[in-house]
Amino acid sequence: MRAGTTLVRLADMTEKITRINPEHLHETPGYHHITVVETGRTAYLAGQCPLDRNGDLVGVGSLETQVDQVVANALAALAAVSARPEHVVRSVIYVRSDERDVLGAAWRRLTESALSPAFTTASTLLGVAQLGFQGQLVEVDLTVALPD
């Protein structure tokens, strides 16, 4: 390990998930540049969309409402595989906007939610031109190292 490298380990999965920010890379707003997983089972969640249980889009025109629904859906998907946000090892966040302020608002809403530990890992935030459902403003894709 190089001097100055920051390591963060999860208490419940000691030495199975390690998050690293090498000293020679820029500081981040909460995520880590590298996530190392030493576990045997991985779950790949489909992109979590702002759809309710009936498949209807919620919060038309409201990024905040849509982010909240995505968070609820992601938490339900994680629970279905006996995982928590702390077990997420990679996230990709898609926001339908090319405005930096809108992307920042989505990031803040996600990192202040119950799903926030998922975004301390390797993470990418993208502004996109279109998402799958008409009126959809946000989608979150998660990769999870499942607990033993």
* pLDDT tens readout for residues 97-125: 999 999 999 999 999 999 999 999 899 99
Res. 9: pLDDT tops 50 = no
pLDDT at 39: 64
Is residue 43 within 8 A of residue 144, CB to CB? The reply is yes
Main-chain phi, psi angles of 56, to 5 degrees? -90, 140
Res. 8: pLDDT tops 80 = no
pLDDT at 98: 96
The pLDDT confidence band at residue 11, using thresholds 50, 70 and 90, is very low
pLDDT at 28: 81
Nearest Cα residue to 13 out of 44, 35, 46: 35
pLDDT at 147: 84
- The amino acid sitting at 95 is V
pLDDT at 14: 41
Instruction: Give tens-digit pLDDT for 34-55.
Output: 888 886 889 889 999 999 999 9
- The amino acid sitting at 96 is R
Instruction: Give tens-digit pLDDT for 74-101.
Output: 999 999 999 999 999 999 999 999 999 9
